[in-house]
């Protein structure tokens, strides 16, 4: 068994142990925990069951979606390893994430992202109407609107997630953390490559709007509520509406950490305040 598979197995076993403990402590939740986690033989099945039941509607039945998800997860091991990486990301970066199972069951950002990956797989297999229908369900149920063509890396944390919009030609790297109400939007009615490219390790604060085919460099940080219409160099911070680089356009300040992982939302306050006022 390769290292990754061992790791994946470790996480799944951990999830089952957590669910077991919680089911014993809380009978009112036991049925939920057994149906979503404890009755399943693998993370693939648990996720497929949970997503199928969350995303179904009267015209897209849970059995159809379950089948769709299970086929995708079974035939593409990248999907599972990405899910594991996302679980780890939530557990490590979000202090409110008290367990893997909490993320698996309750994080709409996590669930949206896993469902998106399946929609994206369908899109790349030229099953576009199905991919769009699935994305539409994610948008209805979780209020997370990611175009199925958008490319998303691993180790992603969509924290809170409500209101996230990611456009068709957007690309998101690995180990990125994106807060709620973040928009990676387009420039207008002309097609083609028109959405942001987010480098590895980027942190995008709540309510930030990034528009157009701009490049947010590796390890950059976008302040909450910013409106970004410019490229942001690696390891720099952009803040404000319109967003400007902290330290100035010419010689922006560089930070050492990987904000997508360190999740520091506010340490640039003083710097910023000084800069602006």
Give, as ranges, the residues between 141 and 200 that touch a second copy (CB under 8 A): 141-143, 145, 147, 160, 162-163, 165, 167-168, 179-181, 183, 185-192, 194
Q: How many residues does the chain have?
A: 277
**Per-residue contact string for residues 56-85; x = within reach of a second copy by CB under 8 A:** xxxxxxxxx-xxx-----------------
Beta strands in 80-170 (DSSP E): 145-146, 151-152, 157-159, 165-166
Helices and strands, counts by H and E, the chain: 10, 15
Nearer to a second copy, 6 or 264 (CB): 264
Applying CB under 8 A, does 4 fall inside the site for a second copy? Answer: no
Applying CB under 8 A, does 221 fall inside the site for a second copy? Answer: no
What is the size of the binding site for a second copy (CB under 8 A)?
A: 110
Q: State which of residues 4, 13, 17, 26 lies at the interface with a second copy (CB under 8 A).
A: 26
d(CA 117, CA 130): 13
Three-state SS for 262? helix
Q: State which of residues 11, 23, 47, 172 lies at the interface with a second copy (CB under 8 A).
A: 23
**Sequence-distant (≥ 6) Cβ neighbours of residue 229 within 8 angstroms:** 210, 211, 212, 214, 242, 243
Nearer to a second copy, 3 or 265 (CB): 265
Q: Which of residues 82-101 bind a second copy (CB under 8 A)?
A: 92-96, 98
**Token pair of 232, please?**
């942001």
Q: State which of residues 9, 30, 74, 247 lies at the interface with a second copy (CB under 8 A).
A: 30
Applying CB under 8 A, does 17 fall inside the site for a second copy? Answer: no
In angstroms, what is the minimal distance from the CB of 16 to a second copy? 10
CB hemisphere CA count around 152 (13 angstroms): 34
Q: State which of residues 74, 133, 234, 271 lies at the interface with a second copy (CB under 8 A).
A: 133
| Secondary structure element (H or E) that encloses residue 204, with its range | strand 203-204
Edge-first strand listing for the sheet containing 215-216: 151-152, 171-172, 197-198, 215-216
Is 179 within 8 Å of 198 (Cβ atoms)?
no
Nearer to a second copy, 167 or 217 (CB): 167
In angstroms, what is the minimal distance from the CB of 208 to a second copy? 9
């Amino acid at each position: 068994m390769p290292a990754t598979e061992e790791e994946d197995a470790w996480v799944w076993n951990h999830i089952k142990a957590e669910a077991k403990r919680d089911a014993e402590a809380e009978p009112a939740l036991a049925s939920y925990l057994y149906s979503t986690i404890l009755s399943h033989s693998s993370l693939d099945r648990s996720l497929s069951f949970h997503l199928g039941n969350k995303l179904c509607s009267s015209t897209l039945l849970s059995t159809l979606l379950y089948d769709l998800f299970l086929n995708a997860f079974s035939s593409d091991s990248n999907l599972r390893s990405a899910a594991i990486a996302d679980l780890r990301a939530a557990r490590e970066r979000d202090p409110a994430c008290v367990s893997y199972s909490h993320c698996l069951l309750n994080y709409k950002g996590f669930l949206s992202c896993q469902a998106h990956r399946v929609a994206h797989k369908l899109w790349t297999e030229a099953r576009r109407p199905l991919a769009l229908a699935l994305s539409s369900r994610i948008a209805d149920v979780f209020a997370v609107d990611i175009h199925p063509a958008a490319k998303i890396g691993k180790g992603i944390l969509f924290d809170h997630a409500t209101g996230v919009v990611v456009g068709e030609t957007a690309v998101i790297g690995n180990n990125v953390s994106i807060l709620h109400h973040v928009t990676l939007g387009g420039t207008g009615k002309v097609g083609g490559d028109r959405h942001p490219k987010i480098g590895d390790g980027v942190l995008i604060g709540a309510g930030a709007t990034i528009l157009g085919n701009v490049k947010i460099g590796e390890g950059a940080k976008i302040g909450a509520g910013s409106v970004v219409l410019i490229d942001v160099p690696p390891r720099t911070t952009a803040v404000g509406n319109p967003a400007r680089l902290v330290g100035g356009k010419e010689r922006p300040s560089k930070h050492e950490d990987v904000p997508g992982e360190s999740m520091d939302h506010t340490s640039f306050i003083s710097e910023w305040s000084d800069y602006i006022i």
